[in-house]
């Protein structure tokens, strides 16, 4: 089915309309405000890696656009996108129009992911585009990880078709948006080497690395922004030493440690902060051994998922938004292997994770400012707070176990 043909499908029209109806009125209570503030700053020529006073950028606009805020934690391309979106607010002075503008690139990312999946396997696109988890991360939360996923999946399929340079550009652009897709570089390089030879693999490696560097340096130099802010932003979630304890949280399986163990010796802190790297390297080594025997889409997809699971299962800081990467690949894998039950369980668990971890009521902060304070009181409550933390941890472990179960019988 062509892209135009999708507009004849009720499921597509319904899901697309739902995104536009929801987008202007909700967003993540933290990330949503960061994006709004950074957009306003970048439009004024200020670096997206800065400390801002919200009320100076948005005087008397909203009660929660107040106080000091830090910038984004990504390479600078997304900062420029936010700056462009801000002009919708500058022209209208309407916070809902601004929210819709911020969500347009996100919705485009959902559409790009749909097309990337259709390019790989026809039947998986509908499941992704109508997934409540994808809807929550995108149109509700306001995160652009679907676009990152689309570029990553396109890089995989292009590499397998022998289009090594196209694959490199796609993966390099994905890394420019968020660094995590770079974990697949050993797999795409190995695929290019096996199909096109060492010379082509080296070209692929070089172009993948050069693409985000050129984009980043061009933006930073062109806008005259300091590189120190960029470095700090990209290393924000890395451990700094025992005086700060374990840098863990979000929906990581290690998140309870922040409450159980307030301090650890420096070497143990750093070990936990880099445990994911050990797991990742082990998976990469095993992937090379396996792909030497069989190199096709199923196998590369399988090991790409395994790489991301190793990263998220052993990293002490995980955010729900980033799980879109393995989730999208798992939907494609499920379509190929007929793992419908596990797929439904995975979607249910991840949807619950978004709704529970940050109490969903707080996503209504634009319409109902009191919801932020209500959500904070719930999380700080001696009983409800513990229930939320425990439920979040159970769901964080459950999605990883479900994903592992989906991979446990490769050729099922």
Residues 137-188: tens digit of each pLDDT: 999 999 999 999 999 999 999 999 999 999 999 999 999 999 999 999 999 9
Distances (CA, A) of 110 to 6, 129, 209, 240: 14, 7, 25, 35
Contacts of 228 (CB under 8 A, 6+ apart): none
Residue 225 confidence (pLDDT) above 50: yes
Task: Tell me the β-bridge partners of 51.
Answer: 70
Q: Is residue 399 part of a domain?
A: yes
Q: Is residue 145 part of a domain?
A: no
Instruction: Considering only residues 340 and 161, tell me which one the structure prediction assigns the higher pLDDT.
Output: 161
Q: Round to whole Å and give the CA distance between 173 and 184.
A: 13
Specify the pLDDT at position 340: 85
User: What's the distance, CA 113 to chain centroid?
Assistant: 13
Specify the pLDDT at position 245: 46
Task: Quick: pLDDT tens for 18-63.
Answer: 999 999 999 999 999 999 999 999 999 999 999 999 999 999 999 9
Query: If you count them, how many residues does the chain have?
Result: 412
Specify the pLDDT at position 263: 66
Task: Quick: pLDDT tens for 228-271.
Answer: 888 877 776 554 433 444 456 688 888 777 666 666 666 777 77
Q: Is residue 162 part of a domain?
A: no
Residue 69's H or E segment, with its range, is: strand 68-70
Q: What is the three-state SS of 158-221?
A: HHHCCCHHHHHHHHHHHHHHCCHHHHHHHHHHHHHHHHHCHHHHHHHHHHHHHHHHHHHHHHHH
What's the rounded mean pLDDT across residues 186-207?
Answer: 96
Q: Is residue 20 part of a domain?
A: no
Q: Contact, 82 vs 38, CB < 8 A?
A: yes
Q: How many domains, the chain? A: 1
Pairing mode, if any, of strands 317-318 and 68-70? Answer: unpaired
What's the rounded mean pLDDT across residues 312-319?
Answer: 90
What's the rounded mean pLDDT across residues 342-348?
Answer: 95
Q: Is residue 245 part of a domain?
A: yes
Contacts of 312 (CB under 8 A, 6+ apart): 252, 276, 318, 322, 323, 326, 400
Q: Is residue 13 part of a domain?
A: no
- Domain span at residue 265 reads 239-407
Specify the pLDDT at position 241: 38
Q: Contact, 356 vs 395, CB < 8 A?
A: yes
Q: Is residue 29 part of a domain?
A: no
Tokens of 138: 């995108």
Q: Is residue 197 part of a domain?
A: no
């Amino acid at each position: 089915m062509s892209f135009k043909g999708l507009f004849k499908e009720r499921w597509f029209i319904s899901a697309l309309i739902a995104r536009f109806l929801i987008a202007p009125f909700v967003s993540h209570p933290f990330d949503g405000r960061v994006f709004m503030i950074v957009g306003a700053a970048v439009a004024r020529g200020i670096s997206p890696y800065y400390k801002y006073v919200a009320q100076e950028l948005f005087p008397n606009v909203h009660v929660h656009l107040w106080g000091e805020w830090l910038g984004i934690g990504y390479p600078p391309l997304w900062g420029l996108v936010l700056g462009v979106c801000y002009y919708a607010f500058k022209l209208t002075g309407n916070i809902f129009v601004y929210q819709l503008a911020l969500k347009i690139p996100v919705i485009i990312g959902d559409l790009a992911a749909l097309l990337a999946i259709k390019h790989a396997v026809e039947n998986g696109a509908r499941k992704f585009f109508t997934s409540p988890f994808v809807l929550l991360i995108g149109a509700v939360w306001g995160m652009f990880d679907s676009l990152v996923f689309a570029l990553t999946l396109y890089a995989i399929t292009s590499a397998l078709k022998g289009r090594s340079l196209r694959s490199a550009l796609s993966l390099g652009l994905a890394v420019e948006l968020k660094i995590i897709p770079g974990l697949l570089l050993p797999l795409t390089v190995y695929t290019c080497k096996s199909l096109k030879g060492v010379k082509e693999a080296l070209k692929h490696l070089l172009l993948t690395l050069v693409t985000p560097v050129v984009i980043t340096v061009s933006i930073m130099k062109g806008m005259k922004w300091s590189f120190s802010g960029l470095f700090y932003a990209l290393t924000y979630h890395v451990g700094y030493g025992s005086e700060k304890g374990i840098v863990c949280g979000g929906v990581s399986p290690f998140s309870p440690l922040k409450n159980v163990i307030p301090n650890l010796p420096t070497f143990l802190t750093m070990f936990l902060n880099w445990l994911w790297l050990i797991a990742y390297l082990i998976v990469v080594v095993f992937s090379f051994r396996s792909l030497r025997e069989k190199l096709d889409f199923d196998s590369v997809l399988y090991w790409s998922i395994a790489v991301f699971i190793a990263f998220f299962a052993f990293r002490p800081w995980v955010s729900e938004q980033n799980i879109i990467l393995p989730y999208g690949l798992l939907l494609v894998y499920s379509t190929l292997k007929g793992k419908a039950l596990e797929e439904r369980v995975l979607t249910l668990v991840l949807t619950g994770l978004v709704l529970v971890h940050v109490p969903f009521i707080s996503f209504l902060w634009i319409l109902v400012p009191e919801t932020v304070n209500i959500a904070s009181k719930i999380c700080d409550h001696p009983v409800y707070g513990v229930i939320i933390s425990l439920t979040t941890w159970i769901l964080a472990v459950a999605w990883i176990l479900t994903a592992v179960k989906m991979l446990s019988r490769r050729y099922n």
